[in-house]
Chain A
Amino acid sequence: MPDCSEYYQTEISEGRNKRVIKCKFCSSVILTPSSASFTRLEVRKYICLNLIIFHVTMYEPVIIIYKLPHIRQTKGSESDPETEDIIHFWAVEDMMTFYNVGFSNTVGNTKYLTCADCEAGPIGYHDIPSKMSYVALSRVLHSNSTEKN
């Protein structure tokens, strides 16, 4: 899993998105500048290793990455979608902050996010318990102009 934070640094200003976030496929505006915060989503779980001979306990970090389903799936994979590991997200606290977006029907604790115009997605997900929405940086376009082109 390559860490692309450096490439993304240029898109972040004071922890928020510097530029307009658009759909990769149709340029529909998803978020306006400065409306989301950059999040490197990694949930660390620690596995307890008891090294008895040294009488110490060590904790081994394991990073859990969000598995976002691919946009295109081969037919027949509906119940077990192919996924991609993603850690860089734009976090949005209030769903009404989105300029244009679609919310899928619920799957478990999640609603997937889509482009409101061409419905390409998932471009991210909405976590129902925390009400937070996360847009994957790699699934959107960062642009200087709000024009649809």
Chain B
Amino acid sequence: MAKTYDYLFKLLLIGDSGVGKTCVLFRFSEDAFNTTFISTIGIDFKIRTIDLDGKKIKLQIWDTAGQERFRTITTAYYRGAMGIMLVYDITNEKSFENIKNWIRNIEENASADVEKMLLGNKCELEEKRQVSRERGEQLAIEYGIKFIETSAKASIRVEEAFFTLARDIKTKMEKKLKEASNPPKGGHQLRASEPQKKPTSWLSRCTLL
């Protein structure tokens, strides 16, 4: 059968335990008397199809099985990943400080050109906030990645975050494909590296609530 999509991207969520990674991806529901069969077993990954500029993109999104508690995210989990959501909790300073360690872990284990994005989750808990939005923005600029504040609980900008990451991977990929089909002529041995992204225009949309 013919392929029904143009691109396939594998995405991961990384960050301290408790920041809300599983909630960003899944929404288990239970009541007092019944449990759903699925919530008992847990979900491993999801396949989603999105439409970006007329192209069908398949996203395969993986959650950790809680290994992050022991800081044992290994090369196996990162294998084949093209995009990583780095998640911290805006009400937990430590989870924000640890983003640097997670970035180091990614550099050691994931493919070098993996696209990253920073998520400040639980943004509906304004009264408990410990990490200002400006600090989130600043850290993202430092690493040349995009930043967005989300709330998995209140369903704020979660979908937008995945679209943004997918669009960035697609752009990068199309650029590579284009370069591969028109190799630079003589003289240019090395390809220009990716220009640093300016997240300004995009950040202006990230005004909170």
The answer to whether B77 has its CB under 8 Å from any CB of chain A is: no
Pair B40/A73 contact, Cβ less than 8 Å: yes
Of the listed residues A72, A74, A104, A121, the one surrounded by the most CB atoms of chain B closer than 10 A to its CB is A104
Pair A116/B47 contact, Cβ less than 8 Å: yes
Contacts of B48 in A (CB 8 A): 100, 116
Question: Which stretch (B29-37, B145-153, B173-181) binds chain A?
Answer: B29-37
Pair B47/A96 contact, Cβ less than 8 Å: yes
Cα A118 to Cα B46 in complex, Å, equals: 12
Contacts of B58 in A (CB 8 A): 96
The answer to whether B163 has its CB under 8 Å from any CB of chain A is: no
The answer to whether A78 has its CB under 8 Å from any CB of chain B is: yes
Cα A107 to Cα B38 in complex, Å, equals: 11
Pair B41/A71 contact, Cβ less than 8 Å: no
Pair A102/B37 contact, Cβ less than 8 Å: no
* Cβ 8 A contact of A98, one of B29, B36, B47, B65: B47
Pair B37/A73 contact, Cβ less than 8 Å: yes
Cα A106 to Cα B44 in complex, Å, equals: 8
Pair B37/A121 contact, Cβ less than 8 Å: yes
Interface size on A, residues (CB 8 A): 36
- B37 nearest CB neighbor, chain A only: A69
Contacts of B33 in A (CB 8 A): 74-75
Given A96-B58, A100-B48, do A105 and B43 touch, yes or no (CB 8 Å)? Answer: yes
- B62 nearest CB neighbor, chain A only: A103
Cα A70 to Cα B83 in complex, Å, equals: 35
The answer to whether A39 has its CB under 8 Å from any CB of chain B is: no
* Cβ 8 A contact of A73, one of B26, B27, B35: B35
Pair A122/B37 contact, Cβ less than 8 Å: yes
- A97 nearest CB neighbor, chain B only: B4
- A95 nearest CB neighbor, chain B only: B47
Pair A112/B8 contact, Cβ less than 8 Å: no
Contacts of B46 in A (CB 8 A): 100-103, 116
Give the Cβ gap from A99 to chain B, nearest Cβ, in Å.
Answer: 5
Cα A100 to Cα B159 in complex, Å, equals: 14
* Cβ 8 A contact of A78, one of B40, B45, B49, B60: B40
Pair A105/B34 contact, Cβ less than 8 Å: no
Pair B38/A121 contact, Cβ less than 8 Å: yes
| 26 cross-chain CB contacts under 8 A | A32-B4, A35-B1, A35-B4, A71-B38, A72-B34, A73-B37, A74-B33, A74-B34, A75-B34, A96-B58, A96-B60, A99-B4, A102-B38, A103-B43, A103-B44, A104-B41, A104-B44, A107-B41, A111-B44, A114-B43, A116-B46, A119-B28, A119-B39, A120-B36, A122-B37, A122-B38
Instruction: Give the A-binding residues of B (Cβ under 8 A).
Output: 1, 4-5, 8, 26-29, 33-49, 58, 60, 65
| A-B interface, 7 closest residue pairs, ranked by CB to CB distance from nearest | A69-B37, A121-B38, A102-B46, A105-B42, A99-B49, A104-B41, A116-B46
